[in-house]
Amino acid sequence: MAPDALAGLKVVEMGQLIAGPFAGKTLGDFGAEVIKIEPPGTGDPLRGWRLLKDGTSVWWQVQSRNKRSIALDLRSREGQDITRKLVARADVLIENFRPGTLEAWGMGYEALAKDNPGLVMLRISGYGQTGPYRDLPGFGAIGEAMGGLRHLTGEPGRVPVRCGISIGDTLAALHGTIGVLTALYHRKVNGGKGQVIDVALHEAVFNVMESLIPEYSAFGAVREPGGSALPGIAPSNAYRCGDGAVVLIAGNGDSIFKRLMSAIGREDLGRDPALADNAGRVRRVGEIDAAIEAWTLRRPSADVLALLGRAMVPAGRVYTAKDIAEDEHYRARDMILKQATRDGYEVDVPGIVPKLMGTPGRVRSSAPKLGDDTDAVLREIGLSADDIAALRVRKVVA
């Protein structure tokens, strides 16, 4: 068996909730050793978010797999000293505190890099480490709004809605992970030193906003919400079926459009030269959508998908959690994993993405209970059993 892709990489994770810890999870899935620092007594608030089983969030079981937990009071001088020792041995430090927090504790990058010049430090915050907004509190939802995503999410003329998950945090985490791996490559291949990766939540969202700003710059066009459609691309929409289900159909490629029109018995539209390209179809998108839905409404969703599948037209149902859990394709690609927990039960969790053929990611350990690894980690940096006991009495560690 090949070693894990990131075997030997040492990561200290000081973040809480979503953005920082998701970056840590991603590195851990591919073999990095991730030491998660949590506040004694309470731990990461994510432990208590959403649905709990045996007192702990089931979300925690996936977000914190492949990590070790040390319960350490970062606000105490002794806790900060211990953190410096941990970071001095690390390749990567992940934090998502408000800018200036680590500096106030004497743990800004310059201070930490004196003992570890190769340190790569991922800093995720609402607005970044610089700029006029840097000191404002920022959550993923605000990043989604400022980044331009929220304005486009929903029905025209109605209050924008969120997509249902903390997508701003996750986008920031993924950009942060890219930054970490890029900095590590530079350090190893180009003889570079460590560096800071500065990820702002709203910038991570803004980075995936496609043509939003070029269209405004060139035409003064402000893109508006399009509901279930993809404005400017046709046809691509959600359509009701005879059984009440909704299917998504993306027939927006020129050749795909012709196959779609043939499948629904509207060869006249498929042969219409005015609809041969996207620009023409956009001008008549209402007519096209009506034709497609007139066809889907006469059939159950299973028949719609079967017919479009044979015609090689991209289409799919809107999946619920139940649909995902029961789907054979998810199972065949190991995207639903049975994971044992340290509370004694098993739970299904998402599999690992992306899939590396030579060094695939894997779940090496289940999510830790608070402070599971405190003693072991402290011994690794040279503390004795008496030292640890004294720190525990003073509530520096737990």
Active site residues: 169
Beta-carbon contacts of residue 384 (< 8 Å; ≥ 6 apart):
none
Q: Minimal CA–CA distance to 30: which of 57, 61, 65, 70?
A: 65
Task: Decide: 324 and 331 in contact? Cβ < 8 Å.
Answer: no
The set of long-range contacts for 261-269, using a CB threshold of 8 Å and a minimum separation of 24, is 261/291, 262/311, 263/307, 263/308, 263/310, 263/311, 263/313, 264/291, 264/292, 264/295, 265/295, 266/291, 266/295
- DSSP code, position 274: G
| The token pair that represents 157 in the structure block | 């003329």
Q: Minimal CA–CA distance to 148: which of 200, 199, 206, 201?
A: 206
Torsion of CA 106, 108, 113, 119, to 10 degrees: 130
Q: Which residue shows structure tokens 């199972």?
A: 331
